[in-house]
Structure 1
Amino acid sequence: MSNFVMDQLKFVRLQTIEYVKGMDDSTTEIIPIGLKNHIKWNLGHMYVIHEKFAFQLAGQDTQYPANFNKLFDPGTKPSDWDIEPPTLSRLLDLLTEQMQRVEEVLSSKLNEDIHSPYKSSTGLTFTTVEQLLGFLIYHEAMHFATIKNMKSIIEN
């Protein structure tokens, strides 16, 4: 079932994956001067926030790989890591699979109310699955722009 929100969400996710898939692990772990995270952190963070907004808040089962919250939750940073992060290849596989799950599980539930309204840290209140996915378009695009800027800084 096609839906504008679902199509846009899938579009930005695919743009991100295509943009980074030719990079190597070491490049995605460079933290540009003045920043606290790197490209790999942004990718993992996108995965974690997607699990929360697309699945957890919608009352669906989540699939957090081991230690993902410790590595990629808001406020985390690689300088605090004491465990090995996933490879870029693993992250890209997870991001691809996650988008497929979103489509399979949620495309028929877009107009459904979530169990209890969720108020974001910025004050937005979400009451339906479609609203949660709409927020993820913004979140994904913001991190995609960050990744593009980081790659440009690294290459220059």
Structure 2
Amino acid sequence: MSNYVIDQLKFVRRQAVNYVESISDSAAEIIPTGLKNNIKWNLGHMYVIHEKFAFQLAGEETKYPANFNKLFDPGTKPSDWNIEPPTMSELIDLLTEQIERVELLLSSKLSEEINPHYKSSTGLTFTKVEQLLGFLIYHEAMHFATIKNIKSITFQLN
């Protein structure tokens, strides 16, 4: 069942995945001067936040690969990593599979209330699944813009 929120979420995810497909692992791990994260971190962070907002808060099963929270939770950064991050190929596969799960599991539950209601760190309160997914459109787009910025800086350096 098609819905504008899911369609927009799929659109922004597809744009991000298409944009990073040709970026090498080494380029995706460059942290430009003045920034604290790299392209891999932004992609992994998109995945982790999606699991929380699209699945955990909606009462669905989550699929966090090993160590993803240690690598990509809010407040983490690659300079603190002491474990090997996933490859770009792995991240792209996970991000692609994740958005398919969103459509499969949540497209018929958009108007369902979440319990308990969730209040974000910025004071925004979510009461329905559709609101959680609407927030993810913003979150995905923000990190996609960051990825584009990092890529433009990184490729100017090389």
Following the alignment from structure 2 to structure 1, what is the Cα–Cα distance between the partners of residues 100 and 2? 13
Following the alignment from structure 1 to structure 2, what is the Cα–Cα distance between the partners of residues 71 and 89? 17
Aligned AA for 2:129?
V
1:129 aligns with 2:129: yes
Aligned to 1:31: 31
Aligned to 2:106: 106
Following the alignment from structure 1 to structure 2, what is the Cα–Cα distance between the partners of residues 8 and 132? 13
Name structure 1 gaps, 5 residues minimum: none
Q: Cα distance, 1:122 vs. partner?
A: 1.0
Query: Runs of 4+ in structure 1 displaced over 3 angstroms?
Result: none
Aligned to 2:3: 3
Following the alignment from structure 1 to structure 2, what is the Cα–Cα distance between the partners of residues 64 and 2? 26
Q: Cα distance, 1:38 vs. partner?
A: 0.1
- 3-state SS of the aligned residue for 2:115? strand
Aligned AA for 1:95?
L
Residues 70-109 of structure 1: pairs in structure 2 closer than 5 A: 70-109=70-109
Residues 36-75 of structure 1: pairs in structure 2 closer than 5 A: 36-75=36-75
Q: TM-score, normalising length from structure 2?
A: 0.98
Aligned AA for 2:10?
K
Following the alignment from structure 1 to structure 2, what is the Cα–Cα distance between the partners of residues 102 and 4? 13
- Say what the alpha-carbon RMSD is for the aligned residues: 0.4
- 3-state SS of the aligned residue for 1:40? helix
Aligned to 1:144: 144
Following the alignment from structure 2 to structure 1, what is the Cα–Cα distance between the partners of residues 23 and 80? 24
- 3-state SS of the aligned residue for 2:65? coil
- 3-state SS of the aligned residue for 2:31? coil
Q: TM-score, normalising length from structure 1?
A: 0.99
Q: Percent identity?
A: 78
1:69-95 per-position Cα deviation (integer Å, ceiling 9, x unaligned): 000000000111110000000000000
- 3-state SS of the aligned residue for 1:121? coil
Give the total of aligned pairs.
156
1:120-145 per-position Cα deviation (integer Å, ceiling 9, x unaligned): 01110000000000000000000000
1:103-126 per-position Cα deviation (integer Å, ceiling 9, x unaligned): 000000000001111000111000
Following the alignment from structure 1 to structure 2, what is the Cα–Cα distance between the partners of residues 116 and 134? 18
Residues 10-21 of structure 1: pairs in structure 2 closer than 5 A: 10-21=10-21
